[in-house]
Amino acid sequence: EPEVTQTPSHQVTQMGQEVILRCVPISNHLYFYWYRQILGQKVEFLVSFYNNEISEKSEIFDDQFSVERPDGSNFTLKIRSTKLEDSAMYFCASRPTRGQYEKLFFGSGTQLSVL
Amino acid sequence: DAKTTQPNSMESNEEEPVHLPCNHSTISGTDYIHWYRQLPSQGPEYVIHGLTSNVNNRMASLAIAEDRKSSTLILHRATLRDAAVYYCILIISNFGNEKLTFGTGTRLTIIP
């Protein structure tokens, strides 16, 4: 089965630094998502993206966050100035269409540690 | 977002069937019921979904109550690899809804 791939699997950064998390969604999918999961907590929605623009975002997705699809294959999440509370596992997901019956395919995540 | 209620945790013996319940009493007529699971150190994984009728696939079965206010995910013969957190999620019928909203899920422990 096709997979969503995420790189790197682990990222360590200093507080205040910028990080870019990378994802390659499944090739014929049109809708892309970022979720995060703080250790021991539930999976939280960050943002959805379609047709080169944000479709929906959560309260977590503030001005420090941005998403981009720079080259038609990669889908990136940028955090401009990381904070300690940004430490979490970040999951990318994609789906082919937006139908209620469509399943999301998740990547295996990037563990971000902010020191 | 429409709410679902699941037990925090369940245990089952290996090779026995497991029934994971979910209550969704505020479900609307065209909301889909999805189940995902998250194995340790992995991203969520789709398991099954349904609307009104019971559904079967290679991973599990989904039994939906006649009034659709509850559903049950059935693992017919649990293995150690089924130990995971299982999430019941409603996909509401708002065309603009883009996201799956995860609850706290049920942590399933399989006893060898």
Write the secondary structure of chain B as one string of H (helix), E (strand) and C (coil).
CCCCECCCEEEEECCCCEEEEEECCCCCCCCEEEEEEECCCCCCEEEEEECCCCEECCCCEEEECCCCCEEEEEECCCCHHHCEEEEEEEECCCCCCCCCCCCCCEEEEEEC
Among A63, A40, A33, smallest CA distance to B98 is for: A33
pLDDT of residue B3: 82
pLDDT of residue B97: 60
**Which of the four pLDDT bands, split at 50, 70 and 90, describes residue B78?**
very high
Answer for the pair B78, B14: CB distance below 8 angstroms, yes or no: yes
Nearest CA in chain B to A37: B43
pLDDT of residue B77: 94
**Contact at CB, A100 and B32, closer than 8 angstroms:** yes
| B66 touching chain A per CB within 8 A | no
Least confident window among A19-23, A27-31, A55-59, B88-92: B88-92
Q: From the CA of B49, how many Å to the nearest CA of chain A? A: 7
| B102 touching chain A per CB within 8 A | yes
| B65 touching chain A per CB within 8 A | no
Residue B108 confidence (pLDDT) above 80: yes
**Alpha carbon distance B39, B45 (integer Å):** 8
Residue B50 confidence (pLDDT) above 70: yes
**Which of the four pLDDT bands, split at 50, 70 and 90, describes residue B93?**
low
**Contact at CB, B34 and A108, closer than 8 angstroms:** no
| B103 touching chain A per CB within 8 A | yes
Counting residues of chain B whose pLDDT is more than 70, the rounded percentage is 93
Q: Are strands A88-95 and A31-37 parallel, antiparallel or unpaired?
A: antiparallel
Mean pLDDT of B5-19: 96
pLDDT of residue A97: 83
User: Mutation test of the interface with chain A: which of B42, B53, B100, B102, choosing the one with the most A Cβ atoms within 10 A?
Assistant: B100
Nearest CA in chain B to A54: B98
Mean pLDDT of A68-82: 93
Least confident window among A81-95, B5-19, B91-105: B91-105
**Contact at CB, B96 and A100, closer than 8 angstroms:** no
User: Mutation test of the interface with chain A: which of B59, B88, B98, B106, choosing the one with the most A Cβ atoms within 10 A?
Assistant: B98
pLDDT of residue A114: 98
**Which of the four pLDDT bands, split at 50, 70 and 90, describes residue B28?**
confident
